[in-house]
């Protein structure tokens, strides 16, 4: 199961890496376009307040900047007949038929507007507001550069040219060198055959950088992607349902949800260029918003899937206590992915993430310092759950505390003591301390000493040893192989025998019952031989009060 899941993750990553490409660093992002638009609006407002530079012209073509702004305004109003006045159609290689060229002139303006919307990044502030144009741009004095366009054949300058109006006054128009290559630029950056036909069918309106026909085509591509995803996920679900090890409900939830959405998004990214997007639409596309959402959703599903498998395996292995750790662990991993997704999205928008990352680093350090003890306890709980020195219900000893484990929380472990009180031990201390798990004993040791008087004969002591050994060998609840009874030593006041006996039980109450029975049987053996167990006694001599008290030990 896990191998198949890993293969699926690797396949998804390879698929995404094969379809998604990094945006061109020279292509403006959404933030750049928004700032540029705001700057242009401010420049236009400032120009409106300034007097017109150069000679008067009814089309406002006195300077490169005023001419280009007037052309942009005509294109914005879809007045391509008026926009023709800003293009220089002199001496074109295809201008032999002037009547036909005059009829097709608005089409040149329209194609130029499409190329500009799709591929040109123009800075109004950089355009000259001088009737003579820029003099230090490395171009002939009668030409100014509007922008440089990257094409398949290399960079191409979009130029404006200072030409005579016919009455001795010079004005600025789009250079005839640029007008001559408009058909070629349209072949590379235009709408294409399908786009041009659809643009004639649907109304010519812009919505967030998309024309109506582009939105219709985008919706069509989404529908096709949905059908492809539906077929792919349906086939995958049918194939996986044949495997009995899969949880059908969870597999369907994962495949029919995040994976289905990811396939649609990947298909859209692979076919997005078919709609001939504008620079604004391309900037929206390069934010990868849907892709980030889909990948994040897939990763959430993968995390849930992995955690479910781990929980199932832990339950089969009897690690039920450790399952509680999976939920906070999954939540933490999901939060990390969400933060990474948000940072990636903001970076794609064009916002610098260095400051954000520095802030997160400082904030993370502050949070870590403030929650140091809590984090220690959290890691302690992880250590306890993974190493499992104790389980809930185990009887253990920690330091001087004896008790039954009632709960292993994320902060502390609770022990129910023999006095029926509850002790809360921080997990950091509990994981680092010495824990004696009494429940895990396979048998319980019974160790004691029998003290016999020095008045007892060696034959009596031998008889006691023999009968106790017979008792050990014959008892059902005593591990006779590892148990022993020996004449240990001659003590200060008695001859001492040591019993080192293992009771074959894990239940402490049963152990006490067996111990009681063993004590009674030993007592019967000692009594049947006619000897008594002795205890130390003290004799105090008080005959002479003025002298020091004399204390001696004797057998009693």
Domains of the chain: 2-20+210-339 (no CATH), 30-190 (no CATH), 374-437 (2.30.30.60), 444-537 (3.30.70.100)
| Residues 6+ positions from 461 with CB-CB distance below 8 Å | 452, 487, 495, 497
Q: Give the strand pairing for 210-211 and 395-398.
A: unpaired
> Residue 385: its pLDDT value, please?
75
- Cβ neighbors of 26 (< 8 A, separation 6 or more) are 150
State the Cα–Cα distance between residues 440 and 250, nearest whole angstrom. 37
Instruction: Please compute, for residue 349, the number of CA atoms within 13 A of its CA located in the half-sphere on the CB side.
Output: 14
C-alpha–C-alpha distance, residues 511 and 492, integer Å: 32
320-340 core/surface letters (b: 16 or more CB in 10 A; e: else): ebbbbbbeeebeebeeebeee
Indicate the burial class of 51 (C-beta count within 10 angstroms; 0-12, 13-18, 19 or more). Answer: exposed
Q: Which H/E stretch holds residue 339?
A: helix 326-349
Task: Give the list of residues 6+ apart from residue 328 with CB closer than 8 angstroms, or none.
Answer: 378, 410
Q: Model's pTM, two decimal places?
A: 0.57
* Element (DSSP H or E) covering residue 444: strand 444-452
Contact 498, 486 (CB under 8 A): yes
Helix (H, G, I), strand (E, B) or coil at 517: helix
Q: Tell me the C-alpha distance between 101 and 9, whole Å.
A: 58
pLDDT tens for each residue of 510-542 = 989 999 999 999 999 999 998 888 887 666 666
Q: Residue 83 and residue 70: Cα distance in Å, rounded?
A: 8
164 with 151: CB under 8 angstroms?
no
Tokens at 319, concatenated: 């690690």
Question: Is residue 519 a contact partner of residue 418, using CB atoms and an 8 Å limit?
Answer: no
Token pair of 146 as six digits: 């509007």
- Taking the C-alpha atoms of residue 336 and residue 332, their distance in angstroms, rounded to an integer, is 6
CB 71 within 8 A of CB 83: yes
Q: Residue 188 half-sphere exposure, CB side, CA atoms within 13 Å?
A: 14
Edge-to-edge strand list for the sheet holding 143-151? 143-151, 154-164, 170-174
CA angle 140, 144, 148 (to 5 degrees): 115
> What is the chain's Cα-based Rg?
46
User: Edge-to-edge, what's the strand order for the sheet holding 495-503?
Assistant: 444-452, 495-503, 484-490
- Cα–Cα distance measured from residue 189 to residue 112, given in angstroms and rounded to the nearest whole number: 10
Task: Check residue 49 and give its pLDDT.
Answer: 55
Handedness of CA 345, 348, 351, 353 (dihedral sign): positive
The number of angstroms, rounded, from the C-alpha of 475 to the middle of its chain's C-alpha atoms is 61
The confidence score (pLDDT) of residue 545 equals: 55
Reported as type and span, the H/E element at residue 539 is strand 536-541
3-state secondary structure of 400: coil
Residue 498's H or E segment, with its range, is: strand 495-503
Q: Are 30 and 284 in contact (CB under 8 A)?
A: yes
What 3-state DSSP class applies to 396?
A: strand
290, 222 Cβ separation under 8 angstroms: no
Q: What are phi and psi of 143, to 5 degrees?
A: -125, 145
Could you tell me which residues come within 8 angstroms of residue 329 by beta carbon, excluding any fewer than 6 positions away?
Answer: 307
Largest Cα–Cα separation, the chain: 152
DSSP assignment of 340-391: HHHHHHHHHHT---HHHHHHHHHHHHHHHHHTHHHHHHHHHHHHHHHH-S--
* Contact in structure between 282 and 242 (CB atoms under 8 Å): no
Q: Using CA atoms, how far apart are residues 197 and 201, in angstroms rounded to an integer?
A: 7
Q: Which three-class secondary structure state does DSSP give residue 1? A: coil
Residue with tokens 């643009």: 199
Decide: 118 and 206 in contact? Cβ < 8 Å: no
What is the reported pLDDT for 341?
84
Helix (H, G, I), strand (E, B), or coil: what is residue 59?
coil
Residues of the chain predicted below pLDDT 50: 1-23, 547-556
Any idea how long the chain is?
A: 556
118/121 Cα distance (integer angstroms) = 9
């Amino acid at each position: 199961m896990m191998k198949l899941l890993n293969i699926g993750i690797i396949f998804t990553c390879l698929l995404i890496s094969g379809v998604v490409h990094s945006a061109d660093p020279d292509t403006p992002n959404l933030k750049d376009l928004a700032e540029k638009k705001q700057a242009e609006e401010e420049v236009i407002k400032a120009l409106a307040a300034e007097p017109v530079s150069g000679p008067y012209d009814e089309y406002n073509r006195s300077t490169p900047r005023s001419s280009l702004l007037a052309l942009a305004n005509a294109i914005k109003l879809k007045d391509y007949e008026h926009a023709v006045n800003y293009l220089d159609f002199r001496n074109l290689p295809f201008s032999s038929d002037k009547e036909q060229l005059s009829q097709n002139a608005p089409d040149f303006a329209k194609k130029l507007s499409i190329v500009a919307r799709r591929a040109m990044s123009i800075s109004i502030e950089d355009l000259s507001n001088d009737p003579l144009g820029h003099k230090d741009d490395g171009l002939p004095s009668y030409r100014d550069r509007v922008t440089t366009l990257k094409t398949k054949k290399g960079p191409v300058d979009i130029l404006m040219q200072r030409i005579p109006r016919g009455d001795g006054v010079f004005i600025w128009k789009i250079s005839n060198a640029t007008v001559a290559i408009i058909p070629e630029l349209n072949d590379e950056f235009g709408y294409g055959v399908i786009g041009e036909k659809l643009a004639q069918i649907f109304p010519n309106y812009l919505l967030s950088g998309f024309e109506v026909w582009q939105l219709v085509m985008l919706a069509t591509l989404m529908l096709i992607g949905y059908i492809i995803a539906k077929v792919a996920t349906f086939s995958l679900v049918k194939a996986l349902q044949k495997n009995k090890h899969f949880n059908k409900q969870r597999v369907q939830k994962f495949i029919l949800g995040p994976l289905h959405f990811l396939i649609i998004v990947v298909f859209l990214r692979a076919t997005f260029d078919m709609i001939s997007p504008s620079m604004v639409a391309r900037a929206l596309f390069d934010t990868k918003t849907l892709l980030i959402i889909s990948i994040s959703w897939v990763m959430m599903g993968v995390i849930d899937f992995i955690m479910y498998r781990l929980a199932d395996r832990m339950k089969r292995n009897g690690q039920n206590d450790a399952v509680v750790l999976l939920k906070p662990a999954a939540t933490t991993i999901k939060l990390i992915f969400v933060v990474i997704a948000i940072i990636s999205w903001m970076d794609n928008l064009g916002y610098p993430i260095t400051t954000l990352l520095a802030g997160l680093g400082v904030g993370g350090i502050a949070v870590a310092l403030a929650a140091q003890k809590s984090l220690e306890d959290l890691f302690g709980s992880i250590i306890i759950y993974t190493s499992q020195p104790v389980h809930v219900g185990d009887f253990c000893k920690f330091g001087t505390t004896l008790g039954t484990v009632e709960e292993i929380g994320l902060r502390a472990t609770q022990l129910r003591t023999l006095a029926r009180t509850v002790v809360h031990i921080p997990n950091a201390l509990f994981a680092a301390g010495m824990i004696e798990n009494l429940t895990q004993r396979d048998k319980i040791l019974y160790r004691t000493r029998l003290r016999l008087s020095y008045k007892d004969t060696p034959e009596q002591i031998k008889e006691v040893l023999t009968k106790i050994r017979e008792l050990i060998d014959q008892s059902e609840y005593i591990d006779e192989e590892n148990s022993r009874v020996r004449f240990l030593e001659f003590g200060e006041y008695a001859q001492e025998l040591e019993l080192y006996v293992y009771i074959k039980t894990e239940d402490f109450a049963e152990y006490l019952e067996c111990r009681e029975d063993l004590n009674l049987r030993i007592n019967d053996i000692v009594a049947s031989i006619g000897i008594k167990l002795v205890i130390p006694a003290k004799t105090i001599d008080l005959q002479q009060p003025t002298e020091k008290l004399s204390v001696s030990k004797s057998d009693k």
